């Protein structure tokens, strides 16, 4: 049973505030273990990787290479059902086309003084993509992480994926091939992150590491941050559905359960102004739960973190939605545009009754790596911008320097920085 909150109830604000701060994951403190693994990989390179892979994944690098060969990739792809291959290709094409629009443009110009200014964008040279092993290994995530890097112009994209129990999910290798990634290593955990950050005899280091992982991977990414760039540390997934009375409760229940089945820490929230709909959705959730292969996970998520919030009218949902700042926001209402205008904080918005969030997970074209845990208040989903960086450019001639020098010298002096003042003054034979 999800919790029920009713705006207008006396204790609503208190209960809603408490709801907002509910922790949905227990982050195990694995920092010391991770630190030791990273130092070991730095010191011993491939030998350390071999040892950890044998111990944690049961993979023996004296029998199978660390790098996945072309032949293995070809053989794996042959095992993927044709309809899945086609679906991956359609997804890739749509993702690539959408992300191509995100490429930032250089902006080089002269201002009225004749000072040259500019922003120039360049791709990061090498990026590592961490792909989890086992059931958390999603081919769609390979596309969502690798394709923006490819569109950005990243020359070298490396995948690490643990061959937990010996095998790599063939669909993951298919997705990698479709995304154009050929450098794939069967390693995982903190040791894979360390190898990507510092390099080993076999693996050249990268400049940025992206992709989801367990607590060890997340801790390792935090620890190597600075040496390399990292993406956000994603938490459990969440959806907020804002619905009016004119909805099929079964559709909404399916959407709520699509989040809930991800993870026991996932969160599904319905906000509506219609009590009968709310009750019907709740009943539909209970009914649909029975026929899910991951019903245990979904039921736990719905029971622990699910919520139904009743509001007097849909406009009243907006301030709540902005405080929740959901990763996914569905607007299942007659006029979604009117509501959207009032949404400030959300990772992605899905407009109307025929846009289930799941389309965005796979084939919409937009990215499914989105800010969780209310971080849409200050951050964005993954995009091409995460794989480029901006260099600013400044150009003065003697005339421009003369115009700006007095102000620069005055500020340098007021900050007590003599050499700063001198560096400008000396070029104009002024007093530094």
CA angle (178, 181, 186) in 5-degree steps? 115
User: Quick one: 26 or 394, whose CB is closer to a copy of itself?
Assistant: 394
Q: How far is the CB of 261 from a copy of itself (least distance, A)?
A: 4
Q: How far is the CB of 385 from a copy of itself (least distance, A)?
A: 7
User: Quick one: 215 or 351, whose CB is closer to a copy of itself?
Assistant: 351
In DSSP terms, 271 is beta-bridged to 242, 309
Q: Nearest CA to 261 among 237, 284, 307, 294? A: 294
User: Quick one: 15 or 94, whose CB is closer to a copy of itself?
Assistant: 94
For CA atoms 277, 281, 283, 288, the dihedral sign is: positive
| Catalytically annotated residues | 327-328
Question: CB-based contacts of 213: which residues, under 8 Å, 6+ apart?
Answer: 130, 132, 188, 193, 220, 221
Strands 328-332 and 348-351: parallel
Binding residue ranges for NAD(+): 130, 191, 214
Strands 307-310 and 328-332: unpaired
In DSSP terms, 388 is beta-bridged to 123
User: Quick one: 171 or 272, whose CB is closer to a copy of itself?
Assistant: 171
Question: CB-based contacts of 233: which residues, under 8 Å, 6+ apart?
Answer: 218, 221, 222
Q: Nearest CA to 340 among 371, 318, 359? A: 318
Query: Terminal CA-to-CA distance of the chain, rounded, Å?
Result: 73
CA distance 266 to 278: 20
Q: How far is the CB of 54 from a copy of itself (least distance, A)?
A: 28
H or E segment at 288?
A: helix 275-289
Binding residue ranges for substrate: 237, 259, 262, 328, 361, 415, 420
How distant, in Å, are the alpha carbons of 20, 152, 178, 210, 215 from that of 145?
Answer: 29, 12, 13, 7, 19
Question: CB-based contacts of 141: which residues, under 8 Å, 6+ apart?
Answer: 131, 211, 212, 368, 369
Binding residue ranges: 130, 191, 214, 237, 259, 262, 328, 361, 415, 420
Q: How far is the CB of 196 from a copy of itself (least distance, A)?
A: 12
User: In 62-160, which residue ranges form alpha helices assigned H by DSSP?
Assistant: 70-79, 82-100, 139-152
Q: How far is the CB of 310 from a copy of itself (least distance, A)?
A: 23
Say how many C-beta atoms besides its own lie within 10 A of residue 367's C-beta: 24
Q: How far is the CB of 65 from a copy of itself (least distance, A)?
A: 27
- Given a contact cutoff of 8 angstroms between Cβ atoms, the answer to whether 249 and 284 are in contact is yes
How distant, in Å, are the alpha carbons of 24, 177, 348 from that of 127?
Answer: 30, 16, 25
Q: How far is the CB of 200 from a copy of itself (least distance, A)?
A: 16
User: Quick one: 66 or 179, whose CB is closer to a copy of itself?
Assistant: 179
User: Quick one: 40 or 263, whose CB is closer to a copy of itself?
Assistant: 263
H or E segment at 31?
A: helix 31-44
User: Quick one: 66 or 256, whose CB is closer to a copy of itself?
Assistant: 256
């Amino acid at each position: 049973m999800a919790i029920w909150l009713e705006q207008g109830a006396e204790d609503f604000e208190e209960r809603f505030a408490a709801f907002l701060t509910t922790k949905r994951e227990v982050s195990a403190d694995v920092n010391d273990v991770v630190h030791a693994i990273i130092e070991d990989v730095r010191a011993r390179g491939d030998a350390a990787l071999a040892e950890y892979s044998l111990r944690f994944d049961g993979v023996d690098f004296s029998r199978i290479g660390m790098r996945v060969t072309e032949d293995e990739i070809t053989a794996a792809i042959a095992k993927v059902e044709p309809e899945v291959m086609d679906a991956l290709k359609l997804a890739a094409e749509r993702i690539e086309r959408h992300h191509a629009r995100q490429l930032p443009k250089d902006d080089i110009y002269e201002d009225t003084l004749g000072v040259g200014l500019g922003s120039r964008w360049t791709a990061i040279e090498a990026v590592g993509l961490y792909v989890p092993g086992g059931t958390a290994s999603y081919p769609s995530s390979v596309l969502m992480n690798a394709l923006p890097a490819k569109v950005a112009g990243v020359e070298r994209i490396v995948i690490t994926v643990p061959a937990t129990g010996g095998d790599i999910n063939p669909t993951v290798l298919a997705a990698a091939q479709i995304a154009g990634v050929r450098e794939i290593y069967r390693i995982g955990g903190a040791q894979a992150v360390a190898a990507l950050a510092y390099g080993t005899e076999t693996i050249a280091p990268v400049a940025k590491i992206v992709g989801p992982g367990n607590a060890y991977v997340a801790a390792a990414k935090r620890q190597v941050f600075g040496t390399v760039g990292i993406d956000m540390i994603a938490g459990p997934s969440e959806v907020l559905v804002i619905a009016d009375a004119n909805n099929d409760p079964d559709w909404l229940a399916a959407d709520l359960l699509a989040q809930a089945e991800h993870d026991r820490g996932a969160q599904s929230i319905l906000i509506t102004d219609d009590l009968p709909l709310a009750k019907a959705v709740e009943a539909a959730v209970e009914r649909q739960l029975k026929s899910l292969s991951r019903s245990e996970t979904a039921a736990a998520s719905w029971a622990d973190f699910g919520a139904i919030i009743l509001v007097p009218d849909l406009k009243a949902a907006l301030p709540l939605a902005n405080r929740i700042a959901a990763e996914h926001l569905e607007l299942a209402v007659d006029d979604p545009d009117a509501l959207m205008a009032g949404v400030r904080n959300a990772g992605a918005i899905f407009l109307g009754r025929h846009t289930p969030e799941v389309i965005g997970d796979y084939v919409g074209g937009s990215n499914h790596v989105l800010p969780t845990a209310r971080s849409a208040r200050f951050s964005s989903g993954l995009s091409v911008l995460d794989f480029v960086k901006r260099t600013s450019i400044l150009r003065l001639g003697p005339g421009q320097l003369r115009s700006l020098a007095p102000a620069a010298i005055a500020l340098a002096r007021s900050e007590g920085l003599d050499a700063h003042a001198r560096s400008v003054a000396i070029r104009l034979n002024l007093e530094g």
